Structure 1
């Protein structure tokens, strides 16, 4: 066995080691990008979908309470404190990352609560049927917004799953390449290839 490395062997080993280094570096950069995507989608699922579901739930509760109040007690007096809470919820909702369709529904929701003929204006004017009609149409808008949350949560989950599967595939490829590179170095050191030596 020839234990002394020739210049060509050293160059090849250096090349293989450099290749291994760039492979690990490139893989690390790709991994970081995928992990960043996963982190962003998880944060978005929580901040822009789960939290928004709670806003929708609070708005639905408010409408349900007003509906029961009108039907059972006949009370149509406007409670400014309640409507003030709705404003805060709608403002928090607007501060989330909205898709175009969602922004359009949120704009409609504001109109249904605070527009010239919205629920806030109709209250206290003595027309129960009009109040109930407004509550019913506002609930439909909330249904549409709730559907968007479900669709977008699914979309973000699929993005995360895709990034994870690409990450797993790249990790397996990286392990395979590292094994091949390791074996190549061993072969160069302990089994010199004839073509590495100059022909006399």
Structure 2
């Protein structure tokens, strides 16, 4: 095999190698994007949705007890319920919050503190109900954010999947083209070689 042919082979192999490495790096980045989106949907959206539900249930217990005049709840269960709410608030702090979500979450914490203070200071039923309404509004806003962020993460995943499919198609076409090109390079013989063979 002549030096020229060796160089052609080396160049052909290098082109294939660079192509495989480049497409692999692109695919790796897209798979990471999908993985991150799925983790975010679970850890920061589904768990947050569950926490919001738990807090809403606890607030609903308070509201029902207040409206039905259930003094037994306030004497025996209210402190336990407050402890459960505080536990859920700590869990929510561990999730990844958007800037808008952080703002509403801060309001929620403040409104829960005000609600607990008004209960402990024996405020009027109307005042406590007003504080409950503020908490419920915060919880509703946070719940909407979970849906919006979940949709956004799904769109990011879909975009990454579409990108992977596109690059996979491009890889196939490029590899086919390279295979044809390598065959041409390997099988091609310069004209002077053929003339030299016929003279010999």
Is this a same-fold pair by TM over 0.5?
yes
Q: Deviations 1:105-156 (Å, cap 9, x if unpaired)?
A: 1111111111xxx110111405111111111111111111111111111111
1:33-112 aligned within 5 A: 33-75=29-71, 77=74, 79-112=78-111
Question: Where does the alignment leave 5 or more consecutive residues of structure 1 unmatched?
Answer: none
Take 1:103 and 1:196, find their aligned partners in 2: how far apart are those partners? 76
Q: Taking structure 2 as the reference length, what is the TM-score of the superposition?
A: 0.88
Conserved in 2, the CA contact under 8 Å of 1:49 and 1:153?
Answer: yes
Conserved in 2, the CA contact under 8 Å of 1:119 and 1:135?
Answer: yes
- TM-superposed CA distance for 1:188, in Å, is 2.0
Change (3 A) 1:66 1:110: same
- TM-superposed CA distance for 1:192, in Å, is 3.0
The number of aligned residues is 190
Residue 166 (structure 1) aligns with:
163
Q: Deviations 1:150-197 (Å, cap 9, x if unpaired)?
A: 111111111111111111111111111111111111122234355999
Change (3 A) 1:77 1:8: same
Q: Taking structure 1 as the reference length, what is the TM-score of the superposition?
A: 0.88
CA RMSD of aligned residues (A): 2.0
Q: Work out whether 1:180 is the aligned partner of 2:200.
A: no
Conserved in 2, the CA contact under 8 Å of 1:8 and 1:196?
Answer: no
2:24 to 21, 28, 38: 28
Q: Which segment drifts farther, 48-57 or 159-168? A: 159-168
Take 1:41 and 1:154, find their aligned partners in 2: how far apart are those partners? 10
Change (3 A) 1:8 1:66: same
Residue 198 (structure 2) aligns with:
none
- TM-superposed CA distance for 1:10, in Å, is 2.8
Take 1:157 and 1:91, find their aligned partners in 2: how far apart are those partners? 27
